[in-house]
Amino acid sequence: MKIFDVSQRSARNLKQAKARTLLTAMAIGVGAFALTMTLAASNGAQAYVNRLISNNFDPTELLVAKDETIFGRGDNNKPQEYDASFGSVSSASGAPIQVKQVTEQDVNKILKYPLVEQVREGVILNVQYVTRPGQKKYIANIQDYSPARNPEVLAGSIPKPINDSSVLLPEAYVSSLGFKDPQSAIGKELTIAIRKSLSSQIVETGTAPRSLQDAEVIGDKSTVLVPFKVVAVLKSEPAQPGTELSLQISTQAAKNLNDIATAGTSQYRQYTRVNVKVKDGEDKANLLKVQEQLSKDGFVSQSVEETQQFLTQIINVLKTIVVAFGLIAIVASVFGVVNTMYISVIQRTREIGLMKALGMRRKDVSRLFRFEAAWIGFLGGAIGSGLAVVLGTLLNPWITNKLDFGTQKLLVFKANQIAILIVLLVLVAIFAGLLPARKAAKLDPIEALRTE
């Protein structure tokens, strides 16, 4: 019997028991729905990670630190031997932890590596406030501008390189600082206030303020006001988390402000991590050579690719968990298919007898039932995946908005993945139909024809 005829006949047979077929297919559909949603969510998350990486990191750079904890490795639960480079940072839970920091000497040492082009210290600093004449003061933080970032500019432009007195203003501050629109902020001056470190104040005033009120009284002596000119207004970018309220300035300007805030403290010119730009860093071999050298000198480093892998790994773990649930649903549905197919064989015993009497081969009888199982698998896959696509497409704007993914959709459906999923479900259903198909193929035609 030709494959086409077997396929057609099996599809017609399924139509004879529409409700049963549909219910069995729905069991597979539940698994297909879960798996399609999981794949779509992981596609979206992966795309978000890729965008996060491309918007924030330069692939020719290495992230270098002295403490493995920075990259989520190592164990800092054991007492560690003290050295002067230890500094306090916030852990993921917000608790302060001590980590070894990269010092100025370290930066100079790395700069001497033959394959290193530049070392950029990563500075993130909470400033006292930002304001402009006649406007209220607002809390803010500053960040050194990374050339790897490619933010959307609402007004003005980002000069290359960025001037030490220029600032890139997040759109959130436009109206707060009294600008009519982003364009009207361009070229205007802002004042960033930095509180001097306590040590500096003691050196300068001979006394330390005992309270915040004291600090305000000391006024000019405790605070340094630094003017900056707005050169660009940046659109808030979900793929650049932490930049929504960050005023971005040149690395040198950020270092200068950081020096004011940390002079005389253990944090002075110490950095949790630095960005090391590698000459011809597109060549992975060069990145590896620098990483080897860094490792020998006691540094820990991570390439952009490794950062991406780390984030992808988290996505994969979450994906695996949801996929496992989807697979459990499919395994459960296999029993449904087996049951349905057995019932089908029993109900059609005389028909099987007739077909065998008319010369239908065992192989074709078995194939007929395997095709029926395959159709159930296909139907379940199509229903489950189809529902997931329809529901996902309808809910995508809402979910994306809730998760603040910006223009990036959380659920990204890929036709090839859905096609592969359906093919796999068809194969699973065929597997489930093997035993009933075998039973049908082995039926004795004489006995089958005698069945009432």
Partner 1 sequence: MITVKNIEKTYGKKDNVCKALCNVSFSIPEGSTVAIVGKSGSGKSTLMHIMSGLDHPDSGAVMIGDQELHKLKGRKMDKFRSTEMSFIFQAFFVEANQTCYQNVSLPLEIAEEGQRKMRIEDALEQVGLKDKIDAKAGNLSGGQKQRLAIARAIVNKPKLIFADEPTGNLDSTTGEMIIKLLFKLNRQNKNTLIVVTHDNELADRCQYRITLKDGKVVHFAENKKVSK
List interacting residues with partner 1 (CB under 8 A).
1-2, 5, 9, 12, 15-16, 350-351, 354-355, 357-361, 364, 445-446, 449
Q: How far is the CB of 379 from partner 1 (least distance, A)?
A: 18
- How many helices and strands in the chain, by DSSP H and E? 15, 13
Peptide bond into 209 cis (omega under 30): no
Which amino acid, 341? M
Structure tokens given for 444: 């004795």
Closer residue to partner 1, CB minimum distance, 225 or 357: 357
Q: Please, which residue, 8 or 207, has the CB nearer to partner 1?
A: 8
Encoded amino acid at 121, one letter: E
Cα atoms in the Cβ-side hemisphere of radius 13 Å centred on 262? 18
Nearer to partner 1, 5 or 297 (CB): 5
- Nearest-approach distance from CB 41 to partner 1, in angstroms: 42
Residue number with CB closer to partner 1 (411 or 440): 440
**Alpha-carbon distance 22 to 1, whole Å?**
27
For residue 249, how many other CB atoms are within 10 A of its CB? 27
Query: Taking the complex as a whole, how short is the minimal distance between the CB of residue 364 and partner 1, in angstroms?
Result: 7
Q: Any bridge partners for residue 155, and if so which? A: 233
Inter-helix orientation angle 304-347/362-402, to 10°: 140
Q: How far is the CB of 28 from partner 1 (least distance, A)?
A: 23
Taking the C-alpha atoms of residue 133 and residue 24, their distance in angstroms, rounded to an integer, is 72
How many other C-beta atoms lie within 10 A of the C-beta of residue 272?
A: 20
What residue type is 401 in one-letter code?
N
Of the pair 13, 166, the CB lying nearest partner 1 is at 13
Q: Which element (helix H / strand E) includes 450? A: helix 445-450
Cα distances from 398 to residues 102, 409, 452, in angstroms, run 43, 10, 58
229/361 with CB nearer partner 1: 361
Shortest distance in whole angstroms from residue 5 CB to partner 1: 4
Q: Which is nearer to partner 1, 14 or 35 (by Cβ)? A: 14
Q: How far is the CB of 359 from partner 1 (least distance, A)?
A: 3
Min dist. Cβ of residue 436 to partner 1 (A)? 19
